[in-house]
Amino acid sequence: MGINNLDRFIATTQSARTCVGLVVTLADPAVSELAGDAGYDFTWIDMEHAPHTLQTVMGHVMAVRGTGCAPFVRVPWNEHGIIKPVLDLAPAGVIIPMVNSAELAAAAVSACRYPLAGTRGCGLRRGNRYGAMPFPDYLEQSRHEPLVIVQIEHVDAVSNLDEILAVPGIGSVCVGPCDLSGSMGKLNELDDPEVNRVLDEICRKVKSAGIMLGTAGAPFERWRRRGVDWIALTSDCGSIFGKAQEIIGQARATSTVDSGEREGDRRR
């Protein structure tokens, strides 16, 4: 869909380059506009762990329309009534957390598709560009959009992974390493050999199933070796905080050198 850059995102994943993205937690849509202009391939607008409303999400989705950036929205939960109004904002993809069984995966797909393929309610707005797109054309497009992205982030999902991957309509799998490690009793122990063995197994199975693989995490090189097609490498707050530490560290290092030089001048 040209309105949300999904076609461009998919084309990039089919090339030799991994798509990189920014997790958006702040309300100001300028954050997403900046992300698009900076060159991010996608945004991850996080309704699960950030205080977003439908209004702020809509602003972020709209902000990247004039860029090459695809807006993804992570919904708070795999529930039809929660997902439905987000779909009407016409995001490129919907990230659905804690999909731990084939039944939950099927429910996620169903919530994102109109009958007869699913149970999505019909309330047109941005998706058909407020009426500019003929309804039959919009329905045809909606058979494949938005991208349905299920999160594998619990040991129960790992146990049921083969069945989950067999569910028709899954557009991508997103690995959640931190929550997965917590469900293994090793919260955020991301260098633990057992945790990494499970993460490797998930990635191998997803790629073998021919399904797009994504995550939010680091380091990039480790995930690139696992074959991720897309990865959210940082967040808006993480970028601000990290750059602030860098600027402050450089300033303090310079002022320390200057203080030493002035002390030496006084002694001479």
111-137: per-residue pLDDT in tens?
999 999 999 999 888 999 999 999 999
- 240 falls within a domain: no
- 260 falls within a domain: no
- Other Cβ atoms less than 10 A from the Cβ of 107: the count is 20
- 262 falls within a domain: no
Closest CA relative to residue 166, chosen from 114, 111, 102:
102
Per the structure, the count of domains in the chain is 1
Burial 26-56 (b: 16+ CB within 10 A, else e): bbebebbbbbbeeebbbbbbbbeebebeeeb
Please check the confidence at residue 267 and state whether its pLDDT lies above 70. no
- How confident is the model over 225-245, as a mean pLDDT? 97
Please check the confidence at residue 170 and state whether its pLDDT lies above 90. yes
Give the residues across from 44 on adjacent strands.
Answer: 23, 72
- Reported as a pLDDT band with limits 50, 70 and 90, residue 92 is very high
- Reported as a pLDDT band with limits 50, 70 and 90, residue 255 is confident
- How confident is the model over 217-224, as a mean pLDDT? 95
Closest CA relative to residue 209, chosen from 145, 165, 143:
165
pLDDT score, position 79: 98
Catalytic residues: 49
Please check the confidence at residue 252 and state whether its pLDDT lies above 90. yes
Whole-prediction pTM value?
0.94
Closest CA relative to residue 110, chosen from 91, 75, 83, 71:
83
Q: Are 142 and 124 in contact (CB under 8 A)?
A: no
- 101 falls within a domain: yes
The domain that holds 45 is classified in CATH as 3.20.20.60
What distances in angstroms separate CA 187 from CA 109, 150, 183, 193, 231, one per listed residue?
29, 21, 7, 13, 21
- 242 falls within a domain: no
**Separation CA 262–CA 268 (nearest Å):** 10
Residue 257 backbone phi and psi in degrees, to 5: -65, -45
Per the structure, the complete domain to which residue 138 belongs is given by 6-235
- 265 falls within a domain: no
Q: Are 95 and 175 in contact (CB under 8 A)?
A: no
- 25 falls within a domain: yes
- 264 falls within a domain: no
pLDDT score, position 152: 98
